[in-house]
Structure 1
Amino acid sequence: MSISSNMLKHAFLMSSLVFFPLSSAVAGDDTDKPVVEQLVDTLTTIAGPHPGIRKNHAKGVVVLGEFTPSSEASSVSMAQHLQSASTPVTIRFSNTTGIPDIADTNPSSFPKGIAIRFQLADDSYTDIVSISVNRFPAATPEDFLGLINAVATSGPDAATPKPITQFLASHPAAKTFVEPPKPAPVSFATQPFYGVNAFKFTNKDGEVKYGRYQIIPLNGPEYLTDEQRAAAGNNYLFEELPKRLQQGKVELTLALQIAEKGDDLTDPTVVWPETRQTVRLGTITIDSIDPNDEQFAKQNMFNPLALTDGIEASEDPILLARPSAYAISYGRRLSGQ
Structure 2
Amino acid sequence: MTLSSNVIKQCALLSSLALFSLSSAMADDHTNKPVVEQLVDTLSTIAGPHPGIRKNHAKGIVVSGEFIPSPDAATVTNAVHFESPATPVTVRFSNTTGIPDIADNNPSSFPKGIAIRFHLQEDTYTDIVSISVSRFPVATPEDFLGLLNAVATSGPDAATPKPITQFLASHPAAKTFVETPKPAPVSFATQPFYGVNAFKFTNKDGEVRYGRYQIIPVNGQEYLTDEQRAAAGKDYLFEELPRRLQQSQVEFALGLQIADKDDALNDPTVVWPETRQIIKLGTISLDTVDDNGKQFAKQTMFNPLALTDGIEASDDPILLARPSAYAISFGRRISGQ
- Same fold by TM-score, threshold 0.5 exceeded? yes
Task: Give the letter aligned to residue 226 of structure 2.
Answer: D
Q: Percent identity?
A: 76
Listed one character per residue, the Cα deviations across residues 232-272 of structure 1 (whole Å, up to 9, x for unaligned) are 00000000000000001000000000001011100000000
Aligned letter for 1:231?
A
Displacement of 1:182: 1.8
Instruction: Please report the TM-score for the alignment, with normalisation by the length of structure 2.
Output: 0.98
The question of whether the paired residues in 1 share the 8 Å contact of 2:104 and 2:234 is answered with yes
Partner of 2:290: 290
The aligned counterpart of 2:307 is 307
The answer to whether the 8 A contact 1:3-1:299 is kept is no
Map 1:75-224 → 2, pairs under 5 A:
75-224=75-224
Give the structure 1 partner of residue 35 of structure 2: 35
- Partner Cα distance (2:284, 2:121) in 1: 17
Residue 14 of structure 1 is matched in structure 2 by 17
What residue is the counterpart of 2:260 in the other structure? 260
CA–CA distance in 2 between the matches of 1:186 and 1:3? 36
Q: Per the alignment, in what secondary structure is the counterpart of residue 280 of structure 1?
A: strand
2:51 matches 1:48: no
CA offset digits 1:56-101 (Å, max 9, x no partner): 0000000000000000001100000001410000000000000000
- Contact 2:133 2:182 (8 Å CA) reproduced: no
SS in 2 for 1:237: helix
Question: 2:281 maps to which residue?
Answer: 281
Query: Which residue in 2 is equivalent to 1:74?
Result: 74
What amino acid sits opposite 1:89 in the alignment? V
Cα distance in 1 for residues equivalent to 2:214 and 2:234: 27
Distance of 1:64 and 1:205 partners within structure 2:
33
CA-to-partner distance for each residue in 1:306-335, whole Å, 9 max, x for gaps?
Answer: 000000000000000000000000000011
Query: Match for 1:2 among 1, 4, 17?
Result: 4
- The number of aligned residues is 334
Q: Is the CA contact (8 Å cut-off) linking 1:10 and 1:306 kept in structure 2?
A: no
Structure 2 unmatched runs, 5+: none
Stretches (4+) displaced over 6 A: none
- Whether the aligned pair in 2 keeps the contact of 1:63 and 1:288 (CA below 8 Å) is yes
In structure 1, the residue matched to 2:244 is: 244
**Secondary structure of the equivalent of 1:220?**
coil
Check whether the contact 1:6–1:124 (CA below 8 A) recurs between aligned residues. no
Corresponding residue to 1:25 among 27, 35, 41:
27
Amino acid in the other structure paired with 1:167 = F
Task: Tell me if structure 2 keeps the 8 A contact 1:196–1:212.
Answer: yes
Distance 1:251 1:195 in 2: 18
SS at 2:240 equivalent: helix
CA distance in 2, matches of 1:3, 1:138: 35
Query: Does the CA contact (< 8 Å) of 2:61 and 2:93 recur in 1?
Result: yes
What RMSD over aligned residues (CA atoms) do the two structures have, in Å?
A: 0.8
CA contact (8 A) 2:150 2:163 kept: yes
Where does the alignment leave 5 or more consecutive residues of structure 1 unmatched?
none
Partner deviation per Cα, 1:90-129 (whole Å, 9 max, x = no partner): 0000000000000000000000000000001232100000
